Structure 1
């Protein structure tokens, strides 16, 4: 593969040097990777740094390396405003050339999921989407590495119980969540674990129109006096909840969020008063890493980034998580290039690449991103990787890593994944299953 690429690049360069014209050269090839982005609407404050990170990693490869194995990566955004209907429109608009689709919403993912078997385009939903998508035998075209929502819920409970969920018996856990498919996603697992381990689960939904004014929800929390509040929030909901928690003097060290509820900007609103708040995360920012040095040199300082440097976006959790999301995608593309000896993989070839990712510690170090992403690998039957995560804690000014690597209780989760995957396939019959997948 490497020999073929070097030959193709040299030939292309020679042709350009003598000014030849004619059919497109290898340099004109590209890999089209659209993103169903949301830089507008109620979730823009959290969506924007994530999209900036995704864009900047692709820009880095194009600027520093001339692309991936000599092929330019064509990053494109279609604005959805986090609206499911607009998201489906963006999917239809971009699918003709797309090698992958990135829905960026659990609601959009659920709408696109049935189309995947027909259109044969991989769905990449890192850390979000429908948790049973981990079952690659049933969901052949969908991927949600490196950890699913059910993995995240399991790790949160493991952390607040010091590794023994039976210690939560007779305790009360409020589940403050966005009243949206995203917010409801962990409920099936939480309900099973509450019954098994004897804790009381109190679901408290937050409507889309209530995100910035949660007085009713926090009045209920004051009445319920829960031992912990677990938040499945996004966008403006997070800022509203954190502000209300401070206002009502809820103990911040008993307040824990999913990885999408760990946005620096939300905690900066309350500063020192937010000290102790935690968020599970499968990524950790490290602005001193070799990767970030290259991002600064080739992208930010070169004026090719859209980040807001005055607000410290470069150092933020979400910007650097966006970088890691593109790292995951690019590793899948690279795996497909190497396996099929091609420059621009087809969607079906990328499907193979995404289920043959091996982002171990050695590879992350090679990429200059050591410690910035949980190590994980995928397979035809395991489309998530289940790499685990760390607790990040707000120290009054920034998020810092506050735990060793946490791992989900897969023995608890796998039976539920299998059950819900089977239910989904039966409800959407005829649904093709990959019977050849054995590992």
Structure 2
């Protein structure tokens, strides 16, 4: 097809004719996990991602007149399978979407030579925010370190000094993802005088956390912060209810805010909170179009289109679509390559005005990326379970950039040194 397109274009130009509109399509594979212990949370996210691209293909004829091939490669959240998926898809891909911090860390060095951008919205390795060091990695709109900062600011009521003398338990998956907030939380504990206790949950313990919650009862913490995923979250919430831990003092990262996990405990979960950089908007113009062109047309497998995770999946694919569109405009070509998409991801400008144009007002805070800032640090809201659904429980919270930026700088440079020789973007200030 590529050869035919080039020949057709050359022939048209030699004859002085307009070039025919042959489009190869843009290959944007997604490393999904619809199976395995994390499937319950993976499925609605993957449904949302896929449905947004289906909407663009069905309603708009793709992006810039080019259809999007959003092929899925199933990993089951296995790092080994994720790397296999990356190797299998990288030849034609303009992006890789690892969907696991473990997979992201394995793929990260490869992208320097393969020159394929990593898009890891709200996950991955937090120092990837430093675009000078991590030229090919992007984790908009906020990092895990941003999330930890916003959670602690919320718990402190805006006065971090008020946490002095308090005890905080980090209940976390014993996996690269679950360990991500530890460096910033340890630094905050030292700076602000609170005690941090780490309570890991092994992959085999996710559905039986009696030992962890016995430890939590003994520790008698003021707050429990959960960095959980998949089956771990539902079990932790059930154990918190069972042990009568005050739910208003139990806060999860954005991957621990799945509607279905709270519906299992219903009113008993009232007060549980989750930080979130996305907010469902069931009555938005976008959702009306998704219903018309995708769901009602029988092109979706979603069960609850109003859920936090499904609509977050829509937002995630919007990031990719916007980067593609920005790159197309900058380079004057519809069928952009991976390097051009990297430029697009580095020049996102998701304003309130643009969100309104997309029919997504209120679904994500505005943010922008740059050469040096590959995250955007958009901020997030605190959501609270009211016994039936998640509702917004705060104004927009913002991470403490002055506290986090030095840690990002130090850790990114440490990573580069440990993986030397590591190419830097010296043109990026």
TM-score by length of 2: 0.95
Contact 1:103 1:124 in 2 (8 A): yes
Give the superposition deviation at 1:25.
Answer: 5.3
Relative to 1, partners in 2 of residues 1:122 and 1:74: Cα closer, same or farther, differing over 3 Å?
same
| Alignment equivalent of 2:74, drawn from 69, 79, 90 | 79
| Alignment equivalent of 1:62, drawn from 57, 63, 69 | 57
Q: For structure 2, which runs of at least 5 residues remain unmatched after alignment?
A: 13-18
Show the counterpart of 1:421.
Answer: 412
Contact 2:23 2:335 in 1 (8 A): no
Give the superposition deviation at 1:69.
Answer: 1.3
Show the counterpart of 1:248.
Answer: 243
Show the counterpart of 2:388.
Answer: 397
Matches within 5 A, 1:97-108: 97-108=92-103
Show the counterpart of 2:15.
Answer: none
Contact 1:27 1:70 in 2 (8 A): no
| Alignment equivalent of 2:89, drawn from 85, 94, 116 | 94
Contact 2:25 2:335 in 1 (8 A): yes
Q: Distance in 2 between matches of 1:298 and 1:287?
A: 16
Give the superposition deviation at 1:183.
Answer: 0.2
Q: Distance in 2 between matches of 1:251 and 1:26?
A: 61
Matched, 1:282 2:277: yes
Give the superposition deviation at 1:147.
Answer: 0.2
Matched, 1:325 2:316: yes
The one-character-per-residue Cα deviations of 1:210-269 (angstroms, maximum 9, x if unpaired) are 000000000001001100000000000000000000000000000000000000000000
Matched, 1:268 2:263: yes
The one-character-per-residue Cα deviations of 1:279-322 (angstroms, maximum 9, x if unpaired) are 000000011000000000000000000112xxxx1110000000
Q: Secondary structure at the match of 1:256?
A: strand
Contact 2:323 2:345 in 1 (8 A): yes
| Alignment equivalent of 1:258, drawn from 253, 256, 268 | 253
Show the counterpart of 2:16.
Answer: none
The one-character-per-residue Cα deviations of 1:110-136 (angstroms, maximum 9, x if unpaired) are 000000101000000000000000000
Q: Distance in 1 between matches of 2:70 and 2:232?
A: 29
Q: Secondary structure at the match of 2:27?
A: strand
| Alignment equivalent of 1:432, drawn from 419, 423, 428 | 423
Show the counterpart of 1:301.
Answer: 296
Q: CA RMSD in A?
A: 1.4
Q: Distance in 2 between matches of 1:97 and 1:190?
A: 40
Q: Secondary structure at the match of 1:280?
A: strand
Show the counterpart of 2:25.
Answer: 30
Q: Distance in 2 between matches of 1:119 and 1:153?
A: 32
TM-score by length of 1: 0.93
Q: Distance in 2 between matches of 1:96 and 1:366?
A: 34
Q: Distance in 1 between matches of 2:97 and 2:214?
A: 37
Q: Secondary structure at the match of 2:87?
A: helix
The one-character-per-residue Cα deviations of 1:75-99 (angstroms, maximum 9, x if unpaired) are 0100000000000000000000100
Q: For structure 1, which runs of at least 5 residues remain unmatched after alignment?
A: 1-7, 16-23
Q: Distance in 2 between matches of 1:315 and 1:335?
A: 29
| Alignment equivalent of 1:181, drawn from 170, 176, 180 | 176
Matched, 1:379 2:374: no
| Alignment equivalent of 1:216, drawn from 211, 215, 225 | 211
The one-character-per-residue Cα deviations of 1:131-170 (angstroms, maximum 9, x if unpaired) are 0000000000000000000000000000010111110000
Show the counterpart of 2:400.
Answer: 409
Matched, 1:316 2:310: no
Matched, 1:226 2:217: no
The one-character-per-residue Cα deviations of 1:49-105 (angstroms, maximum 9, x if unpaired) are 000000000000000111111110110100000000000000000000100000000
Q: Distance in 1 between matches of 2:132 and 2:72?
A: 30
Q: Distance in 1 between matches of 2:255 and 2:159?
A: 25
Show the counterpart of 1:141.
Answer: 136
Give the superposition deviation at 1:205.
Answer: 0.1
Show the counterpart of 2:341.
Answer: 350
Contact 1:122 1:351 in 2 (8 A): yes
Show the counterpart of 2:109.
Answer: 114
| Alignment equivalent of 1:125, drawn from 120, 125, 136 | 120
Q: Distance in 2 between matches of 1:186 and 1:178?
A: 11
Give the ranges of 4+ consecutive aligned residues of structure 1 lying more than 6 Å apart after TM superposition.
none
